[in-house]
Structure 1
Amino acid sequence: MKNLIISCAFLLTFLGIQAQTATVTDSLTLPLRGLAIAAPQKSEVNRFIKFINEELAPRNINTLVLRVDYNYQYKSHPELAEENALSQNDVDAIVTACKEHHIQIIPQINLLGHQSWAGKIGKLLEVYPQFDETPDVKLPTDYKWPNKDGLYCKSYCPLHPEVHKIVFDLIDEITKAFHATAFHAGMDEVFYIGMPQCPRCAGRDKATLFAEEVWRIRNHLAQNGKRLWIWGDRLIDGKTTGIGMWEGSMNNTYRAIDMIPKDVMICDWHYDRPDPTAAYFAMHGLDVATCSWRKPIVAEKQLHMLEDYRKYATKEMRPHYKGMLHTSWTSAKNFLDMFYAKNSKEDNDATTFKALFKI
């Protein structure tokens, strides 16, 4: 595989030939102007709706990826609902506000990876421990990274014969609850996959395992006319590019980029540098959103790079560059606290969002 960064730089130069005939694009005309954030807790729903009405709408935000996970009162599997989770009435209120402002909601449940965090097991493996890809790895009381088990987050076993019945029930219910036409499955930072201690996955190719799981989820959604979104990091060669193990893959899942369906939407996140990997996904025929986080200078460079992609791209490539999806990795309450803090000069999720999407 050629060096990704060199290839993308070459692509920009090559596509520059089209500059004279390309249509100039600015941030307001991007097809996707989005925010990915945790779904609010029940006590924060009204405040969150006020934020939608008074802040998202004036900034022309048209996409809201909501990390719901188990913060919903599931009827298909009530055993998986968190305590004091969102009711359907809460969800309806959020949906109504978004519909009024033409904001598409895409609910997210972390699938495959991110089934634990630090010393806490996630709801799926808590209730169904038999789905654990690495049951021999016990969560420590005092979590530290790095550790001897290579534990970042646990994964479920994609080959367990019972896991998808439950996962698909949740997908169906949450997409219906939010009137969604798409679903975000997460699938980022998957370190545990094809592990030797798993009786089903041992010895299998990790890229194939990852791609097959993408296909399963995608095919289930497609039956109801819905689209799959995922994070893109597992599809980038972390070693060849120098991007590393977090924003890229060091366990060979990156080869799955040639195995997954072309209608999957890729959310390409880079938070410390504006790595030009959107071109990599577009060259593989995949739609891609560029994702920012908590550094305004990086987010603004990502936006300018995206505008150049769309300005200079060929007519075949341009439609794949969908826009910007800003991400927040704290609770909705914490994000709103940061957002409404007076005279805040600290670089964080909210100040970066404001810098990226100005009124």
Structure 2
Amino acid sequence: MPPVFGVGSATKREMYIGQLNINSIDPKGSYQFFRRGTGKPFPPDITPDTGDAKPQGGEIPFGTESLGQGAPVGWKWNSLMDTGVDIRINFGQAFFIGAVCLELTGRSGVAAVEVFSLAGESGAHNNTLTCVGRLDAGSGHLLNGEITVPIGVWAATLVVRLQADLKDIVISKLAVIGAEADEPDVYPTPKSLRYQEGELPLSALKAIMIPASDSAAAPAPTPTTAAAAADVEFVASFIKERLRECFGVDLPIITSSGQAPSAIPSANPAAPEGTITIALDAAIKPNGYGVRVHAGGVELVASQRIGLLYAAETLVQLAQKGTVPFCEVDDEPRCEVRGFHFGLPPREEIPFMKRLIRYVLIPMRYNTIFIEFAGGMRFDRHPEISEAWVQGNRAAAAGLQPKFPHGDMVAGGELLEKDEVREFVAYCKQFGFEVIPEVQSFGHTQYITYAHPEIAEVAEEAVKEKKLDTRLADQPPSTHYYHTYCPLHEKSYEIIYDIIDEIVEVVRPERYVHMGHDEIYQIGLCPRCQGKDHAELYELHVRRMYEYLAKKGLKMMIWCDMLQPTERYKTHPARERLPRDIVLLDFIWYFHFDLDLEDNLLPYGYKIIMGNMYSSHYPRFEQRIAKEGMIGGEVSTWCRCDEYTLAKKGKIFDLLYSAEMLWSETYDSRAREIYTAWITKRLPRLRDELRGIAKPFGHQFTSRAISLPALPASSALPAALAEALQRTPTTLWSCSFDFTNAQRLTTTPIEVPVRANYDKLVFLHATANNAMRIAWQPLKEVGRYIVRYADGSQVEIPVEYAGNICVYTRRYGQPLPQQYYRHQGYIATYWGDPLLQAKTGDGRDVTALGFEWVNPHPEREIAAILCCGNGETDADILLLGISGINI
């Protein structure tokens, strides 16, 4: 049940997000039906929506009407003809509106849905309507079934206009999804956040207090108490560093007296005023935590180290404005497993990946890290595998042979030494993450068969390479490499056991090893296996891996596509015979948007993780995650681990969005526009943190508008963008712009005089049309900005569609809906912020991104910037302005 809240409270309220047209929101709202574009009441004539209200067009309070209770209401075609109906919804206060969601029943339909915000008194019929969203059926068609209209504006009154076309209109559901704010105090949304009157200035904080581990009153240390003490001390140091990073506050760490380091009460009477106390409480659920802020200080409590870190990051979020509101936070995760899957990072990107873990995974409350190894770590027992891995990847990079499968994604196609991997894993584990190594076995074993072709699963006649329709399937790797090893060749087991031994020795996993077993394209082909039952071959291999890990006290995870009856494989009968404590990762959901594939496996008693759980495309999440046996999800990269590549593929945005899905019980997939707005506000600082250049919150920077040269004759902007620009202030997100000479770039460069030093430049721009975004391929360059320094040197900045620029008609954060883009569903969500977001007169989106470029040479004076398109597409660059930033 959503909380009841009122506007007049002096105490800050727990923020509500969800359906607004319900009766548990105070002040209570209402709605009315009118004939399109008039103040003339138009009550339904199919199922009268009267409830407790008068039928003749009076205001109907939320919760009393038939529609709000799930009963359909509608209008006959001959009372509508080709006009329509307006549903005027008055909320009684302004909300940030994310979307309007409708469901039309039966054979009813509409030509279009338009949504307007209403300025002025909601009861007046002649006030200004501003179109803030629309969905059109297109010529000769009608909209029916479920309809969602994205909005993304503040409004106290909406008018939902249904355009008729000689069809009945019958509505079974109407939900307006919104929130009280476009930026929450805490994200992901906590289970409970209760505010009290008052706030604590950061200047009132004097110290971080931990229990004294050497107190005479404390019992003799045990491994448990020693571990508890280590957890608390680590978190205290973490908080000290975060407060210094984020606020420039340097607090000492002090110890209490006479208390052991475990089971400390949440309220510590011994704590002096102005202290942050840290406590472990075994009664709190795993990964859960609590935060208490009051006049005396702050209390952080959890049952585990990682939960205390979540509490610390919650404190940082609450304190962003320099004061911390008095509040109580009690939080715990929705999902047991909240994972991130990536390959071993290249050596030069290990520092970046550490920052990603620290500044994304911890604040976003992930708890599990899956690391794919392939051939990216040196194997002492099999140097021939390591040598072949490097040789194969380098030959592929040189164009001498096809791309090495998973080569670039794991260690950048090179080798990490064991000590490097060990140190990186230790870095992850120190925060409390469970690190699960993925050892590819049976399938995706080219890293083994390239060095050992004698064990490859190959037919006597070569298998011909097939090109698949990648809208519907993932393209198998080149048959230049042997994808699978033979499950009946004993040498296969000798090698894979050795690899398991070496990886387990380095990682020292806590519970699980992920053993792959996906996409086994070649099975039952070689002379040993020919004629054998595929399911029996698969089961044999799974069991041998399972039993080998069991001897080490470890359990097993595998991908489960081979166990799904929907696929072309013949191995699914094995699901009836495998050990039920094998955890399955289901990733082929994205081949079957219409099916809940987990239902093929849950009845057998398996636990399932949503594998490759991409927030851009995963359907029916709320219903599916609630099923017994569904224990979480993981976001996968399938690409090289570096800032540019992860940003290009939308993975950083995906991590932030998926965090809300996996953590919060209140996640509502209809609220996408709201979550996107929340994430947008966090990205500028996150970029600086990932680059290692973040300043404390509140740090002031200066901005100066850099004027563009006079407009050439052919530089006209699209009319909708030009009109939106006239209504746009020249300061956006504290960045100053001069829009006087906003223009369309051509292949002839314009020269923008600068003659100043800047730490950053922000280019406010968009494209006139979209350019092709081909999955797994480089982004399309549509032009260049060339920064020329006074000393004659220069830096060239590629302007890449779907990376740092996008078409002006595209709403920021809107997923690419087609199944083809399942792995890379977000474009232009990292390098550029949506500084300009507007609506056309008919409710269509207008967006321009502020692409932030960090100057690698801030000590050099910038003489000028040359800007041009390249003429290779019709995605002309629309350069609206440039802002110079000094931090």
TM-score when scaled to structure 2? 0.32
Tell me by how many angstroms 1:138 deviates. Answer: 5.2
Instruction: Give the conservation status (yes or no) of the 8 Å contact 1:227–1:264.
Output: yes
Q: Specify the alignment match of 1:193 in structure 2.
A: 523
Instruction: Give the conservation status (yes or no) of the 8 Å contact 1:207–1:255.
Output: yes
Q: Distance in 1 between matches of 2:385 and 2:477?
A: 27
Q: Specify the alignment match of 2:341 in structure 1.
A: 36
Q: Distance in 2 between matches of 1:302 and 1:348?
A: 21
- The 1:258–1:151 alpha-carbon spacing in structure 2 relative to 1, beyond 3 Å, is farther
- The 1:325–1:293 alpha-carbon spacing in structure 2 relative to 1, beyond 3 Å, is closer
Q: Specify the alignment match of 1:4 in structure 2.
A: none
Q: Distance in 2 between matches of 1:97 and 1:192?
A: 38
Paired AA for residue 87 in structure 1: E
Tell me by how many angstroms 1:125 deviates. Answer: 1.0
The reply on whether 1:110 has 2:430 as its aligned counterpart is: no
2:524 aligned counterpart, secondary structure: coil
2:444 aligned counterpart, secondary structure: coil
Q: Distance in 1 between matches of 2:477 and 2:436?
A: 31
Please list the CA deviations of residues 168-227 of structure 1 after superposition, one character each: whole Å capped at 9, or x if unmatched. Answer: 0101110120111321111111121112xx121111100111011100100000000111
Tell me by how many angstroms 1:95 deviates. Answer: 1.7
The reply on whether 1:261 has 2:546 as its aligned counterpart is: no
Q: Distance in 2 between matches of 1:298 and 1:274?
A: 12
Q: Specify the alignment match of 1:98 in structure 2.
A: 428
Tell me by how many angstroms 1:253 deviates. Answer: 0.6
Q: Distance in 1 between matches of 2:571 and 2:549?
A: 22
Instruction: Give the conservation status (yes or no) of the 8 Å contact 1:36–1:66.
Output: yes
2:570 to 245, 249, 252: 252
1:230 aligned counterpart, secondary structure: strand
- The 1:139–1:352 alpha-carbon spacing in structure 2 relative to 1, beyond 3 Å, is farther
Tell me by how many angstroms 1:259 deviates. Answer: 1.7
1:278 to 598, 622, 626: 598
- Unaligned regions of 5+ residues in structure 1, if any? 1-25, 116-121, 239-247, 310-317, 342-346
Whichever of the two has the greater Rg, that structure is 2
1:357 aligned counterpart, secondary structure: helix
Q: Specify the alignment match of 2:503 in structure 1.
A: 174
Instruction: Give the conservation status (yes or no) of the 8 Å contact 1:293–1:328.
Output: no
Q: Distance in 2 between matches of 1:202 and 1:137?
A: 13
Structure 1 segment 35-54 matched on structure 2, within 5 A:
35-54=340-359
Structure 1 segment 1-359 matched on structure 2, within 5 A:
28-81=333-386, 82-83=389-390, 84-115=414-445, 122-134=446-458, 136=460, 145-146=467-468, 154-180=483-509, 181-195=511-525, 198-238=526-566, 248=567, 250-269=568-587, 270-271=589-590, 273=593, 275-294=595-614, 296-299=615-618, 301=619, 303-309=621-627, 318=628, 320-333=629-642, 336-340=643-647, 348-358=650-660
Please list the CA deviations of residues 33-84 of structure 1 after superposition, one character each: whole Å capped at 9, or x if unmatched. Answer: 0011111111211111111111111111111111111100111212212444
Paired AA for residue 50 in structure 1: R
2:436 aligned counterpart, secondary structure: strand
Tell me by how many angstroms 1:352 deviates. Answer: 2.5
Tell me by how many angstroms 1:280 deviates. Answer: 2.9
Paired AA for residue 551 in structure 2: Q
Tell me by how many angstroms 1:330 deviates. Answer: 1.3
Instruction: Give the conservation status (yes or no) of the 8 Å contact 1:221–1:228.
Output: yes
Instruction: Give the conservation status (yes or no) of the 8 Å contact 1:303–1:324.
Output: no
- The 1:166–1:134 alpha-carbon spacing in structure 2 relative to 1, beyond 3 Å, is same
Please list the CA deviations of residues 234-278 of structure 1 after superposition, one character each: whole Å capped at 9, or x if unmatched. Answer: 10112xxxxxxxxx3x23111110121111110011235274222
1:64 aligned counterpart, secondary structure: strand
- The 1:337–1:275 alpha-carbon spacing in structure 2 relative to 1, beyond 3 Å, is farther
- The structure with the greater share of residues assigned to helix is 1
- Unaligned regions of 5+ residues in structure 2, if any? 1-330, 391-413, 470-475, 661-678, 680-887
Q: Distance in 2 between matches of 1:45 and 1:297?
A: 27
Please list the CA deviations of residues 21-42 of structure 1 after superposition, one character each: whole Å capped at 9, or x if unmatched. Answer: xxxxx99331100011111111
Specify which structure has the bigger relative contact order, considering alpha-carbon pairs within 8 angstroms and separated by 6 or more residues: 1
Instruction: Give the conservation status (yes or no) of the 8 Å contact 2:338–2:632.
Output: yes
Q: Distance in 1 between matches of 2:354 and 2:459?
A: 40
Instruction: Give the conservation status (yes or no) of the 8 Å contact 1:339–1:351.
Output: no
Q: Distance in 2 between matches of 1:37 and 1:183?
A: 15
- The 1:353–1:128 alpha-carbon spacing in structure 2 relative to 1, beyond 3 Å, is same
- The structure with the greater share of residues assigned to strand is 2
Q: Specify the alignment match of 1:11 in structure 2.
A: none
Q: Distance in 2 between matches of 1:291 and 1:228?
A: 15
The number of equivalent residue pairs is: 296
- The 1:199–1:158 alpha-carbon spacing in structure 2 relative to 1, beyond 3 Å, is same
Q: Distance in 2 between matches of 1:52 and 1:87?
A: 21
Instruction: Give the conservation status (yes or no) of the 8 Å contact 1:183–1:229.
Output: yes
- The 1:172–1:292 alpha-carbon spacing in structure 2 relative to 1, beyond 3 Å, is same
Tell me by how many angstroms 1:146 deviates. Answer: 4.7
Instruction: Give the conservation status (yes or no) of the 8 Å contact 1:27–1:307.
Output: no
- The 1:27–1:193 alpha-carbon spacing in structure 2 relative to 1, beyond 3 Å, is farther
Q: Distance in 2 between matches of 1:281 and 1:103?
A: 28
Paired AA for residue 298 in structure 1: H
- The 1:356–1:265 alpha-carbon spacing in structure 2 relative to 1, beyond 3 Å, is same
2:617 aligned counterpart, secondary structure: helix
Paired AA for residue 330 in structure 1: C
Tell me by how many angstroms 1:123 deviates. Answer: 2.5
Q: Distance in 2 between matches of 1:349 and 1:138?
A: 37
Q: Distance in 2 between matches of 1:62 and 1:200?
A: 43
- The 1:255–1:138 alpha-carbon spacing in structure 2 relative to 1, beyond 3 Å, is same
Q: Distance in 1 between matches of 2:462 and 2:335?
A: 45
- The 1:263–1:133 alpha-carbon spacing in structure 2 relative to 1, beyond 3 Å, is same
Paired AA for residue 353 in structure 2: F
1:35 aligned counterpart, secondary structure: strand
Q: Distance in 1 between matches of 2:613 and 2:645?
A: 13
Paired AA for residue 450 in structure 2: E
Q: Specify the alignment match of 1:242 in structure 2.
A: none
